[in-house]
């Protein structure tokens, strides 16, 4: 019985699950660097997370649909997620290029910590604000910044989601 249920799950389900777990692992890593490592994200970093925040629940719904036999609907959701990660790839390339000074970053990019103090402490608080710029890499690992690693993750997630969509679209209902 367990083998029959397991074999009924095709490549569409397995690839969709891989995309879901990959997206979860990536966003948890980013949040870990922020909240545990102390790396404050810039405005572009925060925008680059939208694909993960939207993609994770959509991938879950697509997995439920493919497990229920609604593979064509699941395929459309997988394509939607793949397109979101394609757009995220472009945004990550723009961000990484700005960090490498290939082109200018956005002029309004400066995240940082928000002011939540009273007027009396405002001057003191302003002196301790750390402004995060989009055109400066906070950390590079193997020569690649957070934005660059987002490009790598987004390309992989896009490819896996397109693969899941293709497998779901072509797979016959059992």
Contact 75, 109 (CB under 8 A): no
Instruction: Give the ranges where the chain is alpha helix by DSSP (H).
Output: 2-8, 11-35, 43-48, 50-67, 71-99, 122-127, 146-170
Q: Is residue 128 part of a domain?
A: yes
Residue 80's domain spans which residues? 10-170
Query: Helix, strand or coil for residue 84?
Result: helix
Does residue 163 form part of some domain? yes
The CATH code of the domain that includes 145 is: 1.20.1550.10
Count of CB atoms situated within 10 Å of the CB of 149: 19
d(CA 56, CA 19): 9
Please report whether residue 4 resides in a domain.
no
Beta bridge partners of 133: 110
Per-residue model confidence as pLDDT tens digits over 93-129: 888 888 777 776 677 665 444 445 455 566 565 555 5
Total number of domains in the chain: 1
| 131, part of any domain | yes
| Whether this model's pTM surpasses 0.95 | no
Residue 29 lies in a domain: yes
pLDDT in tens, 67-82: 888 889 999 999 999 9
Asked whether residue 2 is domain-assigned, the answer is no
Which of 87-96, 100-109, 162-171 is predicted least confidently? Answer: 100-109
Does residue 140 register a pLDDT over 70? no
Residue 153 lies in a domain: yes
Please indicate, yes or no, if residue 84 is contained in any of the structural domains.
yes
| Confidence band of 142 (pLDDT split at 50, 70, 90) | confident
**Percent share of the chain, pLDDT over 90:** 36
């Amino acid at each position: 019985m367990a083998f029959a249920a397991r074999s009924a799950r095709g490549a569409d389900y397995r690839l969709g699950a891989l995309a879901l777990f990959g997206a979860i692992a990536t966003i948890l890593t980013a949040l870990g660097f922020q909240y545990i490592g102390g790396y404050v994200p810039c405005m572009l970093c925060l925008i680059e997370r939208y694909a993960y925040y939207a993609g994770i629940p959509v991938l879950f719904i697509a997995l439920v649909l493919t497990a229920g036999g609604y593979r064509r609907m699941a395929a459309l959701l997988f394509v939607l997620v793949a397109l979101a990660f394609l757009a995220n790839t472009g945004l990550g390339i723009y961000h990484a290029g700005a960090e490498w000074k290939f082109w200018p970053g956005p002029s309004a990019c400066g995240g940082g910590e928000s002011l939540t103090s009273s007027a009396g402490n405002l001057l003191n608080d302003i002196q301790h604000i750390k402004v995060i710029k989009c055109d400066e890499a906070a950390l590079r690992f193997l020569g690649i910044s957070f934005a660059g690693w987002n490009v790598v993750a987004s390309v992989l997630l896009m490819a896996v989601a397109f693969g899941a969509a293709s497998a779901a679209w072509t797979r016959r209902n059992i």
